[in-house]
Amino acid sequence: MNTTSPQKPKVKICGIRDLQTAQVCKEEGADYIGLNFAPSSPRNISVSDAQKIVELIRSQNGSPEIVFLFYKNSPEEIQSIRSILDHDLVQWIWDDPKLTSVNREELLGPRQICSYRISAPVSNKDLQFLPGEFLILDSDSREAGGGTGKIFNWDFISGIERRFLLAGGLNPENVISAIQAVKPFGVDVASGVESSPGIKDISKIIQFIRNAKSAL
């Protein structure tokens, strides 16, 4: 009989832009926080504000790990930000046109998370070529790098064995049912814990993390 307790889902809160929100994420047990450097995103963060958040997180032991998100950033900008700011992982979008002709491993580093947009059923074979420690499976939106607030058909990813974070339209109200239905490695949220685009709602973040961690 296997008496091992099931692992609690990992939680990533993306688009953090201020110290208070970062501190709440840490106190509530978020596993990852995302700092979004995509120039067109309402969650875009400046290098100076990102530095303050990095210093706060690094001044305390333990999680969360710091994830830098790039989408349609120039390779030069990515290289510059990565060289200036301490971080754990780099998240990038599979179809980012700025990254089609570069050495991604050299530019993005050894610890990567590849975000892949789902618009049709996918198999393990379809995803085997994607690099990274784990994937983020998100709704399909060509205008943005994520944070659209749209749910995709979870049946499209049934049977996927690789570790992934489920993203796309999650919020405190539906995250438990999403985890129970999909059984992902973890969940990723941006707009679902906001009061308006780019403005995080502390109470929603707290409820999201607590609900996700309780969804076994």
CA angle 124/126/129 to nearest 5° reads: 95
Q: Counting Cβ atoms within 10 Å, is residue 16 exposed (0-12), middle (13-18) or buried (19+)?
A: buried
Full pLDDT tens readout for the chain, 216 residues: 444 456 899 999 999 999 999 999 999 999 999 999 999 999 999 999 999 999 999 998 888 999 999 999 999 999 999 999 999 999 999 999 999 888 888 999 999 999 999 999 999 999 999 988 999 999 987 655 555 678 999 999 999 999 999 999 999 999 999 999 999 999 999 999 999 999 999 999 999 999 999 986
Considering only the C-alpha atoms of the chain, give the largest distance between any 2 of them, rounded to a whole number of Å: 54
Can you give the pLDDT at residue 150?
A: 83
Q: What is the pLDDT of residue 2?
A: 43
- Give the single-character DSSP code of 200: E
Q: For residue 160, give the nearest of 137, 177, 178, 141 by alpha carbon.
A: 137
Tokens representing 52? 């303050």
* Domains present along the chain, CATH in parentheses: 10-207 (3.20.20.70)
